[in-house]
A and B are shown apart, each in its own frame.
Chain A
Amino acid sequence: MFKNLLQAFVLNARIRNATIGVIALLGLSVVPFFNAPPPHVELAAEALLEHGPKWFTNGLLTTILVDLIIILMAVFAVSRMKEIPGAWQNIVEMLVEGMWNLTQSIAGHGSANSRKFFPWVITIFIFVLVSNYIGLLPGFGSIGIYHSGAESHAQGALDNQLAMAGAETIAVAAAAEEGKPVLVPLFRSPSADLNMTLALALISVFMTQFFGVQALGIRYFTKFFKNPFKDGMGAVVGFFELIAEISKIISFSFRLFGNIFAGEVVLLVMAFLVTFLLPSIFYGLELFIGFIQALVFMLLTLAFFTMATVSHDDHH
């Protein structure tokens, strides 16, 4: 067995080169010069300019970037629209048609609801997908501006707490970082900024109520409020429904934020532990998660929209 492997190693140039490459990269990872800096984990999006406006955060900058990318891609696909599509037009058409069919399959084929819901859910999907993926680009989290670090005491403490939950090494690193100049990344995935996920969650839940009222009128609210003297059990269920409706905001926003933020932290930690090779495996995982989260946000929104437009009195 071992002899065979040795023989293959000596004879097969490909296997030999690959093995040497892997060993060399893993070896390089240990060399101090190539070590990734200790991960700087920041829960909140940070203001880019130390003395500038607080609202101008890296998350906001990246949101604008995401908008531009999406619009450019759309313009590129649509500007020279042809009956016989080119490659890019084909991809974009596939996306739009796929989402349209998905919307129809849930909200009803050719229904007015499908046409009403479609722009909301497809925009959620595209925006979240591009936001998730843009955070995986090289340079995100590593290119930034150094701040003196004087004002970030509170943040440092929070870093510490977060890091404690992870690994001891990170806690030590974070503690050592305090007081030193802090690198504020220029870009931050909008999905890793709670403002964005919370905004989408609010839009999703608010539009659910809006479409519900539009479809059923004031009757929509009987889902939540029932006369407790007539229908005691119904009133209790309605109360729970109300709580569930409100908690949707939290689940929506923290699901997306948690997945993407945690993914970025995982990538940072992996890069810190083993600089080469190991993070690539997790990149694959993050690509998958980024797609799934976009789809989940979109599908849940679509399902809630559809459910809100269905009358509950029909069951009686």
Chain B
Amino acid sequence: MDALDKLGISWQLLLSQIVNFGLLMIILQQLLYKPVLNMLEQRRQRIAEGLEQADKASHAAAEAEAEKQGILEEARREAQEVRAQATRDAERIAQDVRSRADQEAQEIRMKAQADAEAQTAAVMADARKQIADLAIAATEQILGRELANRDEQERFVADYLAQQNGSGS
């Protein structure tokens, strides 16, 4: 034991060091290791959560973007359709309007022609009557007397004119 004594080893001091170490370990376990490791774990979880949320958010953003694109695409397609429809309708209406206008123009023209013909016929008839009257009057003057059978004369002239008119036309 002399050698141990010279080295300064004594069982009391040895025991005190062992107890000291044990106490220090227990104190640090409660005071340092547990809280620090808990904190590290907590922080790790927090970061993992944050990353997950960021991931989710970016995922949602991508989804929203895709949805937006879809909606835009559909809207564009619908607009295209509407426009095409409108163009088609407009063309059809234009066609209608044009054809109706054509038709009306035709009608108006035909009516005008008919009127003109009717008028011509009336004028002609009037002219013929006047010519007949003039012819009789002229004849009466030439003869110097009134024609006895006036009605028959008139019919005769009219027949002649009608004959002339018929062959002349």
Contact = CB atoms under 8 A, between A and B. Distances in A.
Interface of A: 43-46, 54-55, 57, 59-60, 63-64, 67, 70-71, 74-75, 77-78, 81, 83, 92-93, 96-97, 100, 118-120, 122-123, 126-127, 154, 158, 190, 193-196, 198-200, 202-203
B43 interface: yes
Given A57-B8, A199-B17, A123 B31 contact: no
Interface centre among B8, B9, B35 (most CB of A within 10 A): B8
Contact of B31 (A75, A127, A158): A75
B21 A44 contact: no
Contact of A74 (B8, B21, B32): B32
A150 to B, nearest CB: 18
Main secondary structure on B side of the interface with A: helix
B51 interface: no
Given A71-B31, A75-B31, A199 B18 contact: yes
A43 B13 contact: no
B8 A78 contact: no
Contacts of B36: 77-78, 81, 92-93, 96-97
A164 to B, nearest CB: 16
Interface in B107-137: none
Contacts of A97: 36, 40
Nearest to B32: A74
Contact of B13 (A78, A92, A126, A195): A195
19 contacts: A44-B7, A44-B8, A45-B13, A55-B12, A63-B20, A67-B24, A74-B28, A77-B32, A77-B36, A81-B36, A92-B36, A96-B33, A96-B36, A97-B36, A120-B25, A127-B21, A198-B17, A199-B18, A199-B20
Interface in B14-32: 14, 16-18, 20-25, 27-29, 31-32
Contacts of A70: 24, 28
B35 A195 contact: no
